[in-house]
Chain A
């Protein structure tokens, strides 16, 4: 009972501090806004009975490229449709899912720390440290941090467990989190971290490696069927990403958002149309590095001024730094070197062109050309530094005891006070350090002095409680200030269930200005996906569009394109080259069925016509006339067209990309299977 209270009460405190976010008074922002839009669009359509593969509302129609990179197939994400069915709106359901995922990450970190430190009290402090770091607060602006961070924490937990005990349950757990890592976002960030880990681990634990490899070999040999199933599971979980890459390789889709941010118009056009899948070194390092996003000054100072909308806020409980500072004179241990070296390598990589390491990796390892926003790697520094700090605390606390003489105790207490004084002097160099940091420092000196003096003979459980207060004192103050600063952003995102309706005419003006939640970053695209209404007919530089639409938009003045594409359907007859826009349903043409992947029309023409659907053409679109496949034409450079004879006919346009809808359904089902399978095997201790 007490243990449950110890784990649940910090969650309750965290929810209380972040209540305005959790209860939906402040909407999600920045990239989380995007991910919410994608999640809402996906599950809204799934509940309508359609797996969405096409976004007809933006960029004149484009593939639903984000389907493979927003954690949509994770069993935890299925909370969203379940809550929706229970009557919760999408925005609230999405926030609940994020918060649950965050707590799952914290619990994973507890288990990982317990496995590493072999001490549940220290593991509990690590759990608190992660919960009250910036990881939780940043989920409302950069949920990607959790998408890549949470499964990575659990992966390392199962890796360690499997290294110690080669059980089927541990192997399945390891496999399951590899599957999550592959299916939730680009796996390259995790691969970078794993490379850093491997590099340092091989150096430091050379003697243990042959034994691990031998155990692994014997495990594969003994459980070859299980191993084969796990391999198949990994392939199936990777299928959504592979399906998108196949579509991308087909050449119909381009990604101007990757190439146009810092290029001249000509470079932007050439690189986009050249379909260079990887990015140039300059495109990656020009923006989004960790050096660009964080500064030492803001690790300690002005933490009460953090604005909601920064997707790169980073803070750790100040007591973690204090403990690391106190450990200066401890013996150097292998684990200290492992954790700090990992942090160093990840930090250097995420600095981009400010350190030579990234340039080296970019030149020699292929996947470094396929991801940018290197500051995402910064999220891995948070658990590593917390674990490092708690490990130092564990060693510091092991010094005390009855064996120490009076002079030794005095010496230690003197050292503790001096080191705290030095840290106080260090903090004084920063502007705007919160009072809570100084209070933490003062209490820390007093608590450790009492601990080493042996005056108060508390149980270790009590000491853990005292250290827990030291750990969360300053973060509580920061989170409270952060939530207060965010209140000015109160607004409403589309969150109600929608059945999409075909609109014959696109609007000329943006539907809302309030979609600019964060005043500097427009997120209109995802607002239209959330509400499933049409955006004005323009293309811009989105992350994904079809190559013909992009090409057309690049050499057509915006107003001409907007005037033409304003109408979704235009008709031509054989005698006149002049398009006749269709402004609404009539006896001649009406909509029989519409969803995001399909448009079915009923036509009754007096003479043969060319029906042009002003939605982007790709070779994955198919056309049917009265249920029979017919040739789909690319007309007016970028759109879909079909010849229709006179008389009554049914016309259908439908989208069939590689893999169809099955890859997504399969990925979801397989992840559920592996979750339950691994949970059962662990429960049965197999």
Chain B
């Protein structure tokens, strides 16, 4: 029974998800992405004139604020 359960994809996917969440520094990815987007798009209002909504949302939802910019960039 246990062997049958362990032999299913779901266990493997869960293992991969666990691995990804534990060994990847996602906070660092967010900071790097924030810097990248700000480097390209930052105009003081977190907006890119052509697709402002996306990056405005991104920066907001990831807690990237003026303070973050001052501290990290």
Residues of chain A having any CB pair with chain B under 8 Å: 287, 289, 291-293, 295, 297-298, 302, 305-307, 327-332, 336-337, 340, 344, 347-348, 351, 353-357, 392, 431-432, 485, 488, 520
Closest chain A CB from B9 CB (angstroms): 5
From known contacts A287-B36, A289-B32, A351-B29, infer whether A328 and B9 are also in contact, taking CB-CB under 8 Å: yes
10 new A-B contacts at CB < 8 Å, known A305-B54, A392-B9: A293-B36, A295-B58, A302-B54, A330-B9, A337-B12, A340-B12, A351-B24, A354-B24, A354-B25, A356-B23
CA of A340 to CA of B17, assembled, Å: 11
For residue A297, which residue of chain B has the nearest CB?
B58
Contacts of B29 in A (CB 8 A): 289, 291-292, 295, 351, 354
- B1-42 vs A, Cβ < 8 Å mask (1 yes, 0 no): 000000111111100100110011110110011011000110
CA of A553 to CA of B12, assembled, Å: 57
CA of A432 to CA of B51, assembled, Å: 13
CA of A183 to CA of B57, assembled, Å: 42
CA of A348 to CA of B16, assembled, Å: 12
CA of A330 to CA of B7, assembled, Å: 9
Contact B32 A291 (CB under 8 A): yes
For residue A288, which residue of chain B has the nearest CB?
B36
Interface of A is mostly: helix
CA of A590 to CA of B43, assembled, Å: 51
Contacts of A287 in B (CB 8 A): 32, 36
Contact A353 B28 (CB under 8 A): yes
- B34-73 vs A, Cβ < 8 Å mask (1 yes, 0 no): 0110001100000010110110011001000000000000
Closest chain B CB from A201 CB (angstroms): 17
Contacts of A488 in B (CB 8 A): 50
From known contacts A302-B57, A305-B53, infer whether A329 and B10 are also in contact, taking CB-CB under 8 Å: yes
Contact B51 A305 (CB under 8 A): yes
17 sampled A-B residue pairs with Cβ under 8 A: A287-B32, A291-B28, A292-B32, A302-B54, A307-B50, A328-B9, A328-B13, A330-B9, A331-B8, A344-B19, A353-B25, A353-B28, A354-B28, A354-B29, A357-B23, A432-B53, A520-B41
Contact B16 A355 (CB under 8 A): no
CA of A432 to CA of B36, assembled, Å: 22
Contacts of B26 in A (CB 8 A): 291, 354
Contact B40 A520 (CB under 8 A): yes
Contact B8 A328 (CB under 8 A): yes
Closest chain A CB from B26 CB (angstroms): 7
From known contacts A302-B54, A307-B51, A485-B51, infer whether A332 and B23 are also in contact, taking CB-CB under 8 Å: no
Contact B8 A431 (CB under 8 A): no
For residue A291, which residue of chain B has the nearest CB?
B29
Closest 6 CB pairs of A and B: A291-B29, A292-B32, A328-B10, A307-B51, A305-B54, A354-B25
CA of A602 to CA of B58, assembled, Å: 63
